[in-house]
Amino acid sequence: MPAPGFIVTRRRSAETTRAAILEAARCRFSREGYEGAGVRDIAGDAGVDAALVSRYFGGKDELFAAVLELSAKPDELFYGAPEEFAARIAALLVRDPQDDAKMDCVLIMLRSASSPKAAAAIRQFIEARFYGPMVEWLGCADATVLSRLLGALMMGMGVTRAISPDLDLDAAGREALERKVEAILLAMLRPNQPVG
């Protein structure tokens, strides 16, 4: 039994420490971008010594790449028939809350793209986690071009939601927009489908 006045502290596990650093980094990178977020600030936000960032991640570049990896896995996006995909992605882009790690990933990329170091990591991440799986899922002759078009629409909607979470529309307006986005996505996937 500890002596009176002796404070018992629980040591963090390696997993808890790593998770705290990742969460602090996600918040910093989403607000300040790659260049604005400092390792010492991230460590301070996580309540750890800055040396632990190096211990767990190697450095800022590796930490940035690890934060990008927190976003949605490809198998959470690219599955199902075109109609199912279009309806699901339209709902994600227009209706679903955008305050999670998926939205932070868009903000991180947007706010960090001007950094040469971050831009290289972003390109690698997008190719591995977005374009590559999308091209495979599409499986058509023009899949590479189509993946870029779908990516531009999805990224643009994500940025718009970051600026204005309700898209400056009332509920009826958002519902109408969701149907339009769904029709556009389906028209991209099935070129002979009319845009409603």
Residue type, 163: I
* pLDDT tens, position by position, 104-144: 787 888 889 899 999 999 999 999 988 999 999 998 889 99
Cα gap 142→170, rounded to integer Å: 37
Residues 30 and 101 in one domain: no
What pLDDT shows up at residue 33?
Answer: 93
Residues 165 and 95 in one domain: yes
Least confident of 1-10, 61-70, 179-188: 1-10
Cα gap 81→26, rounded to integer Å: 33
Tokens of 103: 């939205």
Does some domain include residue 195? no
Mean pLDDT of 8-12: 48
Residue type, 8: V
The answer to whether 149 and 188 have CB atoms below 8 angstroms apart is: yes
Domain carrying residue 95: 74-189
What pLDDT shows up at residue 100?
Answer: 55
Does some domain include residue 177? yes
Residues 55 and 82 in one domain: no
Burial of 150 (0-12, 13-18, 19+ CB in 10 A): buried
Least confident of 53-57, 75-79, 170-174, 184-188: 75-79
% pLDDT > 90, the chain: 58
What mean pLDDT, rounded, does the chain reach? 85
DSSP characters for 25-39? HHHHHHHHHHHH--H
Residues 40 and 87 in one domain: no
Does some domain include residue 2? no
Cα gap 22→196, rounded to integer Å: 42
The answer on pLDDT for 8 being more than 50 is no
Q: How many domains does the chain have?
A: 2
